[in-house]
Structure 1
Amino acid sequence: MVVDLVLIGTAITLGPIHNSAFILLLSADRGVRKGLAFILSWLGSLVLVIAAVILLTGGTPPARQSVPSTAALVAKLALGVGLVVYGEHKRRSPPRPRRSPKWMAGLDRASGWAAAGLAVLLQPWAMVGAGAATAVRADLSSVASTLALTGFCVLATSSLLAMELYATFSPVSAGAKLRGLLSWLDSHQDQAIVSLSLLLGLWLVTNSIYQLVR
């Protein structure tokens, strides 16, 4: 479970779309406050998903090869297949001129509430769903499981936290560095999406199949 959560959390935090949007929010007027609203909403979404899973399982992992356990593995397998299909489709698609979406152009005027709502919309929900399917195996009577779930939520938010802290304590330096990062993300967005989708998707598929047949 721990390896799965680490890989999923890493893929989530490295996603280029939400990171680009977050940088634009930070560069806006009162950007640090808007960034904080984004982070709280982003982290809150992850916590709510994990909490919902824990409520369903009662904090006790279902028995191996039981219906709930098999259903969670099948769901993770389906999400993995979906990521592979999406990544391969994206890879085969002809390159298009890079244009920032219209909604990104208005982020400098977004309110704190809008930033919070945007965080929910930009969550890579397929990856979050894979994390939820993995959390079914968590045993809350074990400190290790509790730490793993906490670490997953923090890891999946770590890129946002790092940029928020950088912009808070070194605003001048952060402005220049984050603009450079935004430019890099903009020019490598498709490659990043393809790589993250294929790598995580293949891991989820192979690991789920192994767990189902062993």
Structure 2
Amino acid sequence: MVLDLLLIAVAITLDPLPIMAFVLVLSSYKGVWRGLVFILAWLACLVAVIALVLLFTGGQPPPPRSAPSTAALAAKLAIGIGLVLYGEYRRRKRGAPHEAAEGQGRAKHASDPHGGSGRMSPWSAAALAVFLQPWGLVAAAATVVVRADLSHVATYAALFGFCILATASLLAAELYTVFAPEAAGARLKRLRTWLQEHEEPAIIVGSLVMGLWLTGNSIYQLTS
């Protein structure tokens, strides 16, 4: 369970779209406070999903080969296959000019929903965090949390570590802005530009790698 959660958390925290949007939030009016709202909403989504899964399982993993256990593995397999298909779809469409232009437009809209006005309400920052949450990966994490056993202290540490690691890139940008606002402003702007230029290959590679891992791991667990 720990390795699965670790890999999914890394994939979540390296997702380029939320990072680009968060840099925009930080550069807006009272950006540090708006960024804090974004992070809290982001964390709230992760905690809510984990809490719902644990409420369903009662904090006890279902027995191997039971219907709930098999259903969770089947769901993880479906998500893995879906990510592979999505990554392959993006790879095939990458060379199409209209697709590239459309993708850039979506990225700009998602990371700049106010048209670069420089102002964003706290509610907008929170909604943006929810909207840009990589729900496919969060759903994959939920299928892993089904196996969590709350009778062990290590499980709490693993779940806490997952939430922190999945938010690490946002926390790093927030703290950097707090302690070095001038340097952070320039460097985060360059980071956002770089991410915009490399967004498509990052999404393709991330989707394919994560999808293949989830698919292979699920098949192994279903057949072993």
TM-score by length of 2: 0.93
Matched residue, 2:176: 166
What whole-Å deviation, never above 9, does each CA across 1:97-153 have from its counterpart, x for those lacking one?
444533515163220111001101100100000000000000001111111111111
Instruction: In structure 2, give the amino acid aligned to 1:11.
Output: A
Contact 2:29-2:120 at 8 Å conserved across structures: no
> Helix, strand or coil for the counterpart of 1:123?
coil
1:68-147 equivalences under 5 Å are 68-93=68-93, 94-95=95-96, 96-97=100-101, 98-99=104-105, 100-103=107-110, 104=112, 106=114, 108-147=118-157
Which residue of the partner structure matches residue 52 of structure 1? 52
Task: Give distance in 2, aligned partners of 1:102 and 1:24.
Answer: 11
Q: Whole-Å Cα distance in 2 between the matches of residues 65 and 91 of structure 1?
A: 36
Alignment of 1:144-159 (within 5 A): 144-159=154-169
Superposed displacement of residue 74, structure 1: 0.3
The answer for the alignment partner of 2:29 in structure 1 is 29
| 1:45 Cα offset (Å) | 0.5
Match of 1:205 in 2: 215
Q: Distance in 2 between matches of 1:65 and 1:58?
A: 18
- Would the aligned equivalents of 2:42 and 2:133 in 1 still touch at CA under 8 Å? yes
Q: Which amino acid aligns with 1:28?
A: S
- Give the residue type in structure 2 aligned to 1:19: I
**Aligned: 1:186 with 2:196:** yes
1:163 to partner: Cα distance = 0.3
Distance 1:62 1:14 in 2: 31
- Runs of 5+ unmatched residues, structure 1: none
Q: Which AA in structure 1 matches 2:123?
A: W
- Tell me, yes or no, if structure 1 residue 64 matches structure 2 residue 64: yes
Counterpart position of 2:13: 13
- Work out whether residues 76 and 140 of structure 2, in 8 Å CA contact, stay in contact via their aligned partners in 1: yes
Residue 125 of structure 2: SS of its match in structure 1?
A: helix
Root mean square deviation, CA, Å: 1.1
1:148 and 1:27 map into 2 onto residues whose CA distance is: 33
Letter in 2 for 1:209: I
Q: d(CA) in 1 for partners of 2:45 and 2:173?
A: 19
Q: Aligned partners of 1:145 and 1:212: how far apart in 2?
A: 23
3-state SS in 2 of match to 1:101: helix
* 1:102 partner amino acid: H
Q: How many residues align?
A: 214
Counterparts of 1:160 and 1:21 in 2: how far apart (Å)? 10
